[in-house]
Amino acid sequence: MMWSGEWNSPRRAAERGKVPYRAYYRAWFREPYVTEVCISNSANERRYHDEAPFTAYLINAAGERRSFSGTVPPHGTCVLTVAEMFPEGRTFVGDTGVGMVLIESDFDLAKIQLTCHPGSGAVAAEHFMAILSSKEYLPAGS
C-alpha cells in the first residue's frame, strides 16, 4: 500500500488537480457467462472517509452508451453483475453478446471484472484497463 499512500497523498493531489479517473473492460451478456463488476473504494486524499460515487457506462459496438450511477461505501467494495447494472444490456450489445463497461469517478477506485461460467465453475478475473489522457482524465485503479 505504499504506492497507494503516495499516489493519494495531499502533495500529489495538489500537483494533479481535480480530474476524473476512467477505466474500462469488456462485459459478457452471452449465456451461460455472467460478468460481475467489483469496485473498491480505497479512498482518495480529498475525502478519505466519504462514499465514492461513480458512473458506469455500457458501450456497444456502434459506440452508443447507457449509464448506471452507483456509490461505494468508505473503504468498501460494491459487487454488481452487468445485468443488474444494465437490465437491457443483452439487447443493447446485440448479436455479439459483448459490450464494454467504462467506470468513471472523481475517486481513484480499484476495479476488477469477474466472468463466471456457472456450469463448470470456471472464473476469469481481469483488471480494468486505465484510460490515459494528459488533459481530461487520469488512469484509475489503486
Decide if 69 contacts 55 (C-beta within 8 A).
yes
**pTM score, two decimals?**
0.80
Distance CA 28, CA 97 (A): 6
User: pLDDT class for 18, splitting at 50, 70, 90?
Assistant: low
- pLDDT tens digits, 49-93: 788 899 999 999 999 999 999 999 988 899 999 999 999 999 999
Span 37-46, mean pLDDT?
A: 75
Report how far apart the first and last C-alpha atoms of the chain are (Å, whole number): 9
Decide if 29 contacts 93 (C-beta within 8 A).
yes
Alpha carbon of 127 to those of 29, 50, 59, 119, 130: distances in Å? 18, 24, 18, 23, 9
- What phi and psi, each to the nearest 5 degrees, are found at residue 19? -135, 150
